[in-house]
Structure 1
Amino acid sequence: MIPMLDLKAQYASLKPEIDAAVLRVLASAQYVLGDEVEQFEREFADYCGVRHAIAVNSGTSALHLALLALGCGPGDEIITVPFTFVATVSSICYTGARPVFVDVEHSTLTMDPERLEAAITPRTKAIVPVHIYGQMANMDAIQTIAARHGLPIVEDACQAHGAEFRGSRAGSFGAAGCFSFYPGKNLGACGEGGIAVTNDDRHAKTLRMLRDWGQEQRYHHVLKGYNYRMDGIQGAILRVKLRHLEEWTEARRAHAARYTSLLGGMRHIRLPHADALRRHVYHIYAIRTGDRDSLQRALLAEGVQTGLHYPIPVHLQPAHADLGYAVGDFPVSETAAREVLSLPIYPEMTGHQVEQVVRAVEREAYVA
């Protein structure tokens, strides 16, 4: 069986480093926040090319607090896309604001700037583009529109560690950028974790207070805050893994290039978009096909695990029926949800495994 990802292989390759990092935290007894988390924050901020990084317990928490730091709340509207993991929208709802959707581009599956301006109203408080699958949205166009209307941007970069647009890293474009360290991410913790990055000193101070019960100093609660702190063990593990992230990213990009080369002659298969403006880090290698479900079943029968990211756009999820959207409102997102199929991709994957996946697809009669 070729798995979608292999976290055991990753741990085995780093076992001495990770074990030492964990034991160091246990010996220090700094189990929540602490020195390891602080050092990881500095290192991740440097990696993204920003001034501040505020570590929290999940990517969802990072998005929630970033929006609160911008003053988002009841009565506000926040624009995002329906083709994303539900956490993007949940974080908006947590603030009391209303999510407003715009469709995605057919090519990149990221926010369509041509549809963005029409969604802006006097109640719009912020824009949240999603860098889906490891590829950044068109930040040139989105920033231009946001600036014209005086709106801040919060980047949902939860799948885009190290991704770039015109040579600048994800997280460095908006008022804040938010990342997830869920174990399967390009930079994954051994548990839950997340981080918000920013160049704004005031936002950074607010974020630090909000994650720790709104405290400016111990037992001095300035804001109504949350228990969103990162564990010391996760900070230490992420420091180890961050040192390997660029090597892993290049391995992902090499596997993606091999997939693209071998799958390029196959009809009925649409490959992931890539262009010179963006550094795609391939959190997901998602092909598109009109017979997605049949292909997924056939690949599993041949020992190839695949994934669906994401089969139901958020505007059609029962949990968000109260937003009032219906089938047909966002046709590009709805079509993508029916067609996307994620092939295995992870740094430890071998070239032979990539070729095995391709041959399995070929055997299902998709060759041109």
Structure 2
Amino acid sequence: MTIRVWDYLSEYATEREDILDAVETVFGSGQLVLGPSVEGFEAEFAAYHGVAHCVGVDNGTNAIKLGLEALGVGPGDEVITVANTAAPTVVAIDGTGATPRFVDVRAEDQLLDTALLEAAITERTRAIVPVHLYGQCVDMDAVNAVAARHGLRVLEDCAQAHGARRHDRLAGTMGDAAAFSFYPTKVLGAYGDGGATITRSAETAEALRRLRYYGMAERYYVVRTPGHNSRLDAVQAEILRRKLRRLDTYVAARREIAARYAEGLGDTELVLPSVTAGNEHVYYLYVVRHPRRDEILAELAKQDIELNVSYRWPVHTMSGFAHLGYGPGSLPVTEHLATEIFSLPMYAALDKRRQDDVIEALRRTLGAR
């Protein structure tokens, strides 16, 4: 039986009754678009984070794109982020008409190197999008200090960091706004696409609500452009309401799995995840490093164990972003990491037997005793 890098079926078997009740709740409500399920999730997700506003959208990419637009980013602007991220981060920036600009990451935690931020700022820079990668937070004090000195907006990319904390502050509560994805693989995952942007600002929230609904202030009357059709699906919102109540349980399970990996693989040649001081990691992904990465992936595939690479191609090396002008060697740490990183199976319902099989297979492959 194949051990997958991610699987929802065990979780669904446990939560099936609640998930199907969520679907029935929406179907029986008489309102299939926006309505009480979306409003309820928005209120509860905002309350979880201790902020005033949450605006549900159709996916995490648009949570970033609309969030940036609501903060005033548009054509002619530049937005600083990293290339060691899922491509949607950069696709969203590009979608506003702004130009993405990259800084390198730190080898030890693969997070944005805040020491490089200042040098990347130009007269066109409008915003910074720090990516809380793999489940832990960027040094937001350093990001915010740079942003304050230069009058920049900060939108946190929290797609991989639901429930993560830095110095006891939740990911998503440290910038002007924050974007979340609820793609099924996420720590808080829907049963389809979904996203949300949270903020303390009533003005930003009002702009977000108009942007996701064609630019309308009221039905059929557009008051601002650009406008989009980017509403969070009501069924997904109701499912997310149920799962939000279990978010801390999911995080605890992921941390237990991470601890078991650390115990079982700590004496091998693998470079295991490093938790930065002040961070509370939620392990959306359990990312390790080894110079013989591709050999290891091939060998475990023969044993029906799936591993993954997040991400094999840094965004600045993709042909779709060649126009940005970042040639080989421009982000040396990011480029080197891309040759070594890979992810082990990680999801809250991963049982100990399957995890032990992964650990034993890796130890055999690496020649560890």
Does the alignment reach a TM-score above 0.5?
Answer: yes
Q: What do residues 193-250 of structure 1 show as CA deviations (whole Å, max 9, x unaligned)? A: 0000000110000001100011111122111210000111011111111111110110
- The Cα of 1:366 is off from its aligned counterpart by 4.3
SS of the aligned residue for 1:208 comes to helix
**Matching of residues 184-223 of structure 1 within 5 Å:** 184-223=185-224
Say if 2:305 is the partner of 1:300: no
- The Cα of 1:275 is off from its aligned counterpart by 3.6
Match of 1:244 in 2: 246
Match of 1:125 in 2: 126
Match of 1:231 in 2: 233
Match of 2:112 in 1: 111
Q: What do residues 58-81 of structure 1 show as CA deviations (whole Å, max 9, x unaligned)? A: 000010001101111111110000
SS of the aligned residue for 1:367 comes to coil
Q: What do residues 303-354 of structure 1 show as CA deviations (whole Å, max 9, x unaligned)? A: 2111110000000001111111111000111111111110001111122222
Distance 1:8 1:326 in 2: 42
2:268–2:366: 8 Å Cα contact kept in structure 1?
A: no
Aligned pair count?
367
SS of the aligned residue for 2:339 comes to helix
Say if 2:312 is the partner of 1:346: no
Say if 2:90 is the partner of 1:89: yes
Say if 2:235 is the partner of 1:257: no
2:5–2:346: 8 Å Cα contact kept in structure 1?
A: yes
Q: What is the identity, as a one-letter code, of the residue corresponding to 2:165?
A: E
**Matching of residues 1-368 of structure 1 within 5 Å:** 1-224=2-225, 225-267=227-269, 269-367=270-368
Q: What do residues 38-63 of structure 1 show as CA deviations (whole Å, max 9, x unaligned)? A: 00001111112211100000000010
- The Cα of 1:25 is off from its aligned counterpart by 0.6
Query: Which ranges in structure 2 are unaligned for 5 or more consecutive residues?
Result: none
2:164–2:171: 8 Å Cα contact kept in structure 1?
A: yes
Distance 1:199 1:115 in 2: 28
Distance 2:267 2:133 in 1: 25
Q: What do residues 144-199 of structure 1 show as CA deviations (whole Å, max 9, x unaligned)? A: 11111121110000111001111011110111100000011111111100000000
Distance 1:82 1:366 in 2: 33
Q: CA RMSD in A?
A: 1.0
- The Cα of 1:263 is off from its aligned counterpart by 1.0
Alpha-carbon distance change, 252 to 202 in structure 1, aligned in 2, over 3 angstroms:
same
Percentage identity across aligned positions?
Answer: 45
Q: What is the identity, as a one-letter code, of the residue corresponding to 2:29?
A: S
Q: What is the identity, as a one-letter code, of the residue corresponding to 1:354?
A: Q
Query: Which ranges in structure 1 are unaligned for 5 or more consecutive residues?
Result: none
2:109–2:276: 8 Å Cα contact kept in structure 1?
A: no
Distance 1:366 1:335 in 2: 24
- The Cα of 1:107 is off from its aligned counterpart by 1.0
2:184–2:191: 8 Å Cα contact kept in structure 1?
A: yes
Higher mean displacement: 82-91 or 216-225: 216-225
SS of the aligned residue for 2:137 comes to coil
Distance 1:287 1:262 in 2: 13
- The Cα of 1:367 is off from its aligned counterpart by 2.4
SS of the aligned residue for 1:299 comes to helix
Distance 1:103 1:252 in 2: 28
SS of the aligned residue for 1:55 comes to strand
Q: Following superposition, which runs of at least 4 residues in structure 1 exceed 3 angstroms of deviation?
A: none
